[in-house]
Amino acid sequence: MKKFWILLTLALPVSALAAHDVRLPLDWVTLPEDADPNAPADKAVVGLYDTALVLERIFDLNAAVLDGLPEVSPESKEAARNHPRPKDWTPWHLEVFSTDLAVTGRGLIGVLTVKGTAAVQAFWRKQGVKPITKPAGLNDERDEFGTGAELALGTSDTPTEVAASIEPLIRAALAGGKIKDEKTFRASLVSTALDLHSIVQSLEANAGSQWWASGFRFELSVAASGKVSVFRSAGADVRFRLEWRRIMKAGKQAVSTPVMTSEVARFGENLKAFATALELDLEAISGNALEKKGFRAHTFRVGIGATASGSIGIGKDSASTFGHINFSRAAKKPVVYPHRKIAGEGSILLIQSRPSEKHLEFARANQIEVVEQVAYRVDRERMRKGLRKALRIGAFFAERGAVPQSKGWHIYEMKTGFDTSVVGDVGLAKLGGLAAFDIGFYNENF
């Protein structure tokens, strides 16, 4: 029987939780290039201690509300009595609960009750009595990429299987009537999908790191003429999303060598270099104090963009981002800390469509090279410093989530979303912004 996950978001009036506004440190939410250099020093920010108390209060209220909910609705019980059901049938009940927190540009934090970007997401599930042995078939089927993917493929699929898998998408798109040239569209989409499939197959599965690239998502734009593009197009009539997922264990994996054109091969090599470097960046910042408290980073999803010449970097905004790479790490595996210092040589591109003159001037003033007027070349060590800061911020929220005392409901996962600065610094994703990357934590004490 299929499992259905229901996610609800609780809206709590934050004003009732504190007698004054509670703000986070401004450098947690304001990127250096967006700061006002002439603004007076802000001495009114409430300390993190008070902020922590408010967060713990929010999570405590969540736990209290969840504890008061009935196990199963009366309607479901009545239906179960009056109608025969399969042996594995389960009445409708609350399975997953989400608390979304948002941050404004001034650092004010509260529960998200309107449309916008959540800086922090806490996912709750009810914990039962832990069995002596794990029941067969027990697993979490939630998509770690979120919802909305139109087609998910495996990196081990054959070209024939890929072409067959996208046929339903082709028929659905043609039924919409926006694509005028079926022959061009069909050939272009199949060719693009096979090129992307060759690229993800050729990527090194693991670079000797405890992190590995476990999934790839590409956003495709289709013009009325039927021409398919990997990069976003403002005039696109139809958009597709294709995902590839890889399930692997730590250690080197055998990698096939598919046949590719020179242009596709060059794009693939740039993407491979980007993914491999990020694996090492994540390796370099792993093993923080938060893991001793039970929360362990297990996913890292980053938006990817490209310059006109094909250079790959982090996509800073929606117009610059044509896809995502998801990195994974075993959540239960003991951490093996490297004995060597992992060098942070080189740089990473941060790609921003139509950057403001203020950002460009800030980058030049901080000796950040501007590439093709749409990308910033950020020193890798600076970027790692920003990633360490992101983990510290994530730790602050995760520690608050470990406090609530509940009869059964506990936070089993938390995610924090971040924006990226042109100098490698990071800040929490703000209400009206876009998260360049997010970090997921499992609560291993769940």
Q: What is the amino acid identity at position 162?
A: V
CB proximity list for 414: less than 8 A, separation 6 or greater = 120, 121, 122, 123, 295, 394, 397, 398, 401, 440, 441, 443
Contact of 201 with 162, CB cutoff 8 Å: no
Q: What is the amino acid identity at position 42?
A: D
Contact of 354 with 25, CB cutoff 8 Å: no
pLDDT digit string, tens, across residues 227-238: 888 766 555 567
User: Do you know the residue count of the chain?
Assistant: 446
pLDDT digit string, tens, across residues 328-375: 887 553 333 333 445 556 788 888 888 888 999 899 889 888 888 788
For the chain, domain boundaries: 148-260
Q: How far apart are CA 441 and CA 92, in angstroms?
A: 28
DSSP 3-state of 193 = helix
Residues paired with 411 in a beta bridge: 124
* Residues in the chain, pLDDT under 50: 1-19, 44-45, 132-149, 249-253, 255, 333-341
The DSSP secondary structure of 76-95, one letter per residue, reads HHHHHHHS---TT-------
CA atoms within 13 A on the CB side of 41: 1
DSSP 3-state of 173 = helix
Regarding pTM above 0.85, the answer is no
The long-range contacts involving 61-64, CB below 8 angstroms and separated by at least 24 positions, are 61/12, 61/17, 62/10, 62/12, 62/97, 62/99, 62/122, 62/124, 62/404, 62/409, 63/404, 63/405, 63/406, 63/409, 64/406
pLDDT score of 137: 38
pLDDT score of 337: 37
